[in-house]
Structure 1
Amino acid sequence: MEESNKRIAKNTAYLYIRMLASMLVSLYTTRVVLQALGVSDYGIYNVVGGFVAMFGFFNSVLQSGTRRFITLHLGKGDLKLLRETFTTSMYTHTVISIVVLILAETIGLWFLNYKLVIPVDRLAAANIVYQFSIASTVLTIMQTPYIAVVTAHEKFDIYAYMSIFDVVMKLVIVFLLIYLPGDKLVLYAALTMGINLAGILIYRIYCHRKYSECVFSLKRNKGVFRSMLHFSAWTALGHLSSILSNHGQNIVLNLFFGTLLNAARGLSDTITWLVKQFIFSFMTAANPQLVKFHGAGNREGFTNLIFNISQYTLFLFSVIAIPVFLEIDFVLRIWLETVPQYTALFIKAVLLISLISFSNNMIDQGIVAIGRVKESCIYVTPIYLTVLPLSYLLFRLGLHPASCYAATALASLLGFFANLYLLSKHNAFPAMKYLRNIFLKNTLLSLVAFIPPFVVQRFMEESWLRLFIVCGLSLLSTIAIMYNFSLSQSAKTLVKNKLKSILAR
């Protein structure tokens, strides 16, 4: 047990190093890349890259199954079966990559040139970026079995080392982008693909030297393939809805408003991703415990864990989100020389939607724990699939570019309610109590905590002094109100223990 705890602590430390390095470099490189490319070219890169990423859906069909079965067969200690699993996954992901390549070079290429709104003088550059993006996507798909092997062996230190490599290379890209001549958009796409290729080669060399199961042969295991496909099918459906609602909205924005709005969305995604990383890093440890409580028939422990982690998550989210919401306009002007229109508004909209999604996260994990993923996909996935057509309809009616976030918020709320219903139906979960004591209560308390810094902000001129005062007051107000009126005693204990463990590490 002690050895297991040490391994978990070490893996957590590696993941935190990875997250922190990625966050710091993302902030710096985003600023420099935006300056080097310009707003329009930055938007082109985001919409083209996002469009190609949609083809990655096919990879999700077997991705989760590949990781699960390599881990499962590693635990059995059967090297022959493990090698067959690796070979089978290599075959399937090679076929998937070929399918993606054919679709991208036919339907995708037509859509890029005849449907996306790209300035005529930048269409040639956009096509080159598109080809680099396709190459990166295909290589990433074929890399999935190797990543699954590293994950199965719990070698999280390699993630940290590769993150350091990624950080260094992104900084090199920034330097080269500034000083090398030529088309900056094409140069940036080429250098980014070069980093991806180098990372893929490093992983492959490492796996072939370190793990004996990484041997490609002609022998496939049809039983393993069927098991992986059956396990992954419903997960893939949920992944499809996520891709369409995110990258699909980016494409719809482009069709109606052009590349400048894609730049704004790309920047807003970067900021909100950074905010979410703090919260997701604290949530992952609770998921295995849910499965254990359900397996042991401990319904009280199962319910209490969902309540406590959700309270804890919303508390942490409010601490971070309120200062960002209030001062994001000033921060963007400091961070970026040129701020694309609507960037701040998009960030605020995503933060509001995140309040719903974080309330739903543990409910969703509870459904996974009790084995009702198929039913959740049947009821919840269609709700999220409405986001794309609804966004298109809103834009056709001439509404504001941010109206697409209203479609996302509505789908998120309905999906949250549907998950609550399913969990209460199959596990006697107190849905109304959760809705009242967690979602509504924390939303109200967040609004109350928002008032003191908001009032101070109204009476001060925009400046560094106001930034520090508002952020400090936001922090104190949110912690005082949320800690005293939101968290249960057990959740307070969880917060204290988590802070102690962080300080200890």
Structure 2
Amino acid sequence: MSSNAGNSSRIAKNTIFLYLRSIVTLLVSLYTSRVVLATLGVDDFGIFNVVGGVVGMFASISGALSGAISRFLTFELGRGDKHRLNTVFSTSVLIQLILAAILVSLVLVGGGWFVNAKLNIPAERMDAANWVLICSAGSFGVGLISVAYNAMIIAHEHMKTFAYVSILDVVLKLGIVFLLMASSFDKLKTYALLSTCVTIVIQLTVSIYCRMHFKASRLRFVWDKGLIKEMFGFAGWAFFSNSVGMINSQGINILTNMFFGVALNAARGIAMQVQTSLSRFIGNFTMSLNPQIIKSYAADNKDYMFQLICRGSKLAYFLALMFVVPLFLEADTVLRVWLGEVPAHATLFVRLTLLAMLPQVLGGVLFTGAMATGNIRRYALAVNSVSIFVFIITWGFFSLGYPPATAYCVQFVIRILLIIIRVVLLKGMMAFSPILYVKEVFYKIVPVSILAFVLPLLVFLLPISPSFLRVVLMTAVSVPTTVGIVFFWGLTKDERVFALGKLQQVKNKFLKV
């Protein structure tokens, strides 16, 4: 019991570090996005997003490996086998080096053909688009090689370091903005090149830190056929899952370009930036939670694991809801204050993106539960066989002349269906109770979601002109309202006691200062 309490305390502490990091990164990202859009212009901003999306489709392999490596490293930490941990790490790096060489070549050849032959890009900007492709491929290759180092930091739950590295990342990107404004060269080419340089600096920093702090990150040549087969088997199904997710995001981005042009890609790019910022903020909580879920499974502490899955799903959803309510209602004003010039359809895209995020938040924690078992074949097949219909149905609707916003509506409906499928699958994989999930999660989030919108909606309907002051008023009303409803309706008695205890600890620290 005391061990579980210590784990909960560690999760809370790691989450605080990651949220401090998110506040800084979010503020800087808001400024840099505005300047980049204004400096590049709508068309070049759209080109950067759609060409980057082509590389992003290949990057699903990187995401699959990251999930596989994180799972294996965390599992070995849970078992306490340091030698096996080093074997897993060294094998991971060897695999990545080989794949990086192969995949970067494929990106440049296959992606180059697609950008030049299929995308709807003005002829005079094709040279810049190819420059973006080359730089994005370079960033992809560096990121792939460094996956094991990032996974090592997360597996050891060194979230403080992870937070500092992320802050360094946004500070360097802020420097890019000033260089971009001062540059006399092609703005799009300059932005792509400098972004790649930032990726290289960050990954070198992470690699050096791991070598200094984790003995298991000291490379040695290992060729463990059994481990390689096991990791590739796991990564293969994770790759299948990530590929479908990438098709549903970057694939639809490409469809939007083919049916509606680069201006709509700029609008989708803005919506994706909002989604990415919020996903990272929410992901801070799940990132601190995921190692504990996997370690609990490795230690055969399934009751605690099931508790973490339910509690994590619920709290991650509530964190998302706290931001979704004011942003959904004030999306147009927020975008105008943030960007100045708002691309057409951007407001609608942002609102629909926010709604589609809510069911996806629940899915992330459930997927971690599946990953902990190490056998995700059935899970990946079932979930992604349904998920791919987001892309297929959207393509069909676009071909029939439906508007670009249709993609988000399709995504929302299928993501709700997938929550049911995921919970049923976990029942077969680890005897997880769907009834427990319904009782602990659904019975809490549905009424909280409805009640959280009531008072903010009344404020929105007041005869107040859209302005920054109204956004401040909306935030001042919606955030405390959502927090209060979550506290009294969404949390159990034990969770309320835990939350009050943590608040008291924070208060005592401030009083001492």
With structure 2 as the length reference, what TM-score do the two structures score? 0.86
> 1:131 aligns to what?
134
Equivalent residue, structure 2, for 1:332 = 335
C-alpha distance in structure 2 between counterparts of 1:188 and 1:246, whole Å:
23
Check if 1:469 corresponds to 2:473: yes
Equivalent residue of 2:411, what SS?
helix
Q: Distance in 1 between matches of 2:23 and 2:274?
A: 14
For residue 220 of structure 1, give the secondary structure of its aligned residue in structure 2: coil
Q: Distance in 1 between matches of 2:285 and 2:232?
A: 31
Tell me if the contact between 2:65 and 2:238 (Cα under 8 Å) persists in the aligned partners: no
Distance in structure 1 (CA, Å) of the matches to 2:426 and 2:360 = 16
Which residue does 2:185 correspond to in 1?
Answer: 182
- Contact 2:71–2:371 under 8 Å retained in 1: no
Q: Which residue identity is paired with 1:194? A: C
Deviation at 1:274, TM superposition (A): 2.6
Deviation track 1:387-444 (CA, whole Å, cap 9, x = no partner) reads 2222111111111111011221122122111112223455565535744774366334
CA distance in 1, matches of 2:90, 2:438: 47
1: CA distance, partners of 2:222 / 2:371: 33
Matches within 5 A, 1:73-112: 75-78=80-83, 85-112=88-115
CA offset digits 1:118-174 (Å, max 9, x no partner): 111111111111111111111211222333444455554443443333232112111
Quickly say closer, same or farther: Cα 1:198–1:498, change in 2 above 3 A: same
**Whole-Å separation in 1 of the counterparts to 2:338 and 2:369:** 39
- Residue 167 of structure 2 corresponds to 164
Q: What letter is aligned with 2:246?
A: I
**Structure 1 residue 39 and structure 2 residue 23: aligned?**
no
Q: Are residue 343 (structure 1) and residue 346 (structure 2) matched?
A: yes
CA deviation map 1:162-204 (0-9, x unaligned): 3333232112111111111111111111111111122233344
Cα distance change on mapping 1:48 and 1:426 into 2, 3 Å: closer
After superposition, what is the alpha-carbon deviation per residue over 1:474-501, rounded to whole angstroms, capped at 9, x for unaligned? 2344344444344333343344345445
Question: Structure 1 residues 254 and 310, CA, compared in 2 at 3 Å: closer, same or farther?
Answer: same
Out of 279-288 and 135-144, give the one that drifted further: 279-288
Residue from 50, 63, 66 that aligns with 1:63: 66
Cα distance, 1:162–1:443 mapped onto 2, change above 3 Å: same
CA contact (8 A) 2:293 2:308 kept: yes
Verify: 1:460 aligned to 2:464, yes or no. yes
Contact persistence 2:11–2:288 (CA under 8 A): no
Following TM superposition, by how much is the alpha carbon of 1:76 offset from its aligned partner in structure 2, in angstroms? 2.8
Aligned pairs (5 A) from 1:241-280: 241-280=244-283
Q: Structure 1's 501 and 32: CA in aligned 2 closer, same or farther, altered over 3 A?
A: farther
2-structure distance, mates of 1:38, 1:59: 30
3-state DSSP of counterpart to 1:88? helix
Distance 1:221 1:472 in 2: 57
SS in 2 for 1:38: helix
Answer yes or no: is the 8 Å Cα contact 1:312–1:491 preserved in 2.
Answer: no
Q: Name the aligned partner's letter for residue 492 of structure 1.
A: R
Q: Distance in 2 between matches of 1:248 and 1:66?
A: 26
Partner of 1:378: 381
Mean Cα deviation higher: 360-369 or 45-54: 360-369
Matches within 5 A, 1:141-156: 141-151=144-154, 155-156=158-159
CA contact (8 A) 2:294 2:368 kept: no
Q: Give, in angstroms, the shift of residue 298 of structure 1.
A: 7.2
> Which residue is 1:496 aligned to?
500
CA distance in 2 between counterparts of 1:70 and 1:482 reads: 35
SS at match of 2:146: helix
Identity of aligned residues (%): 34
Q: Show CA shifts across 1:54-76 (max 9, x none).
A: 11223345433444555666743
Greater mean deviation of Cα atoms: 468-477 or 51-60: 468-477
1:450, CA displacement in angstroms?
1.7
Q: Secondary structure at the match of 2:330?
A: helix
Deviates more, 1:17-26 or 1:4-13: 4-13
Counterparts of 2:508 and 2:88, CA distance in 1: 40
Matches within 5 A, 1:284-323: 284-287=287-290, 290=293, 305-323=308-326
- For 1:200, the aligned partner's letter is Q
8 A contact 2:366–2:423 mirrored in 1: yes
- TM-aligned CA deviation for residue 23 of structure 1: 1.4
> Does residue 51 of structure 1 match 2:51?
no
1:451 — aligned with what?
Answer: 454
Distance 1:220 1:288 in 2: 26
Map 1:23-34 onto structure 2 (within 5 A): 23-34=26-37
Q: Which runs of 4+ in 1 moved over 6 A?
A: 1-10, 292-300
The 5-angstrom pairing of residues 110-125 of structure 1 reads 110-125=113-128
Counterpart residue type for residue 415 of structure 1: L
Structure 2 CA distance for partners of 1:429 and 1:101, relative to 1, 3 Å: closer
| Number of matched pairs | 503
Counterparts in 2 of 1:460 and 1:73: CA distance versus 1, 3 Å: closer
Q: Distance in 1 between matches of 2:494 and 2:303?
A: 13
Output the CA distance in 2 between the equivalents of 1:271 and 1:431. Answer: 32
Distance in 2 separating the partners of 1:357 and 1:484: 24
Partners of 2:337 and 2:468 within 8 A in 1 = no
- Take 1:217 and 1:313, find their aligned partners in 2: how far apart are those partners? 39
Structure 2 unaligned residues grouped into runs of 5+: none
Q: In structure 1, how many angstroms separate the alpha carbons of the residues matched to 2:159 and 2:61?
A: 26
Inter-partner Cα distance in structure 2 for 1:202 and 1:293:
30
Q: Distance in 2 between matches of 1:498 and 1:317?
A: 20
How far residue 269 of structure 1 moved from its aligned partner, in angstroms, is 1.8
Displacement after TM superposition at 1:3 (Å): 9.8
| Aligned mates of 1:177, 1:212 — CA distance in 2 | 40
Equivalent residues of 1:314, 1:442 under 8 A apart:
yes
The CA RMSD over aligned residues, in Å, is: 3.3
Within 2, Cα distance between the matches of 1:332 and 1:377? 37
Matched, 1:418 2:428: no
The equivalences for 1:400-411 within 5 A come to 400-411=403-414
CA contact 2:42–2:263 (8 Å) conserved in 1: yes
Larger CA deviation: 472-481 vs 65-74: 65-74
Question: Which SS does the other structure have where 1:18 is aligned?
Answer: helix
- Mapped contact 2:100–2:145 kept (Cα < 8 A): yes
Q: Kindly tell me: are residues 3 and 452 of structure 1, through their superposed partners in 2, closer, same or farther at Cα, counting changes over 3 Å?
A: closer
Equivalent residue number for residue 24 of structure 2: 21
CA contact (8 A) 1:146 1:204 kept: yes
Distance 1:212 1:303 in 2: 32
Give the 3 Å change call, closer, same or farther, for CA 397–310 of structure 1 in structure 2.
same
